[in-house]
Amino acid sequence: MGIINWILDQVFRQRKSIDQQLMKEYLDESNTDTPTLKDRSETVWFIYLRLASGTNLKQCAENYGVSLEAVKAALIYTRRHPEYLKRFLGKRVSTRVSWRAIFI
């Protein structure tokens, strides 16, 4: 069982590193109240709302003329900072956006 835990630990560490790289590359977090996509005005919470309303990642990226990775970075941010969404949406934070979508 020890080797399985070690492998899972390595996978999660790598995933965390990839997530951090995506957020650093595609998000402007200089204004922590409303992080946006870099060089764009779309806020992270607006991207999240579009995804929660049923728009898939690819459609969202195409609609805003951004890369799929930028949309993934916004979704990763909301998953890592649920308090951010709660500020804008209140207690009713939707869980409809599939976390599995990140791995597309």
Domain count of the fold of the chain? 1
Picking from 3-12, 16-25, 68-77, 95-104, which range would have the lowest pLDDT averaged per residue? 95-104
pTM exceeds 0.85: no
pLDDT at 8: 82
Q: Which distant-in-sequence residues (6+ apart) come within 8 Å of 38 by Cβ?
A: 25, 26, 27, 28, 70
Enclosing domain of residue 33: 22-103
Is residue 10 situated within a structural domain? no
In Å, what is the CA distance from 50 to each residue of 3, 6, 14, 43? 40, 37, 28, 11
pLDDT band at 6 (very low <50, low <70, confident <90, very high): confident
pLDDT at 92: 56
Kindly state the percentage of the chain with pLDDT values over 90.
24
State the CATH number of the domain containing residue 88.
1.10.10
Is residue 58 situated within a structural domain? yes
Is residue 54 situated within a structural domain? yes
Identify the CA nearest to 103 among candidates 69, 80, 74. Answer: 69
CB 66 within 8 A of CB 21: no
Is residue 87 situated within a structural domain? yes
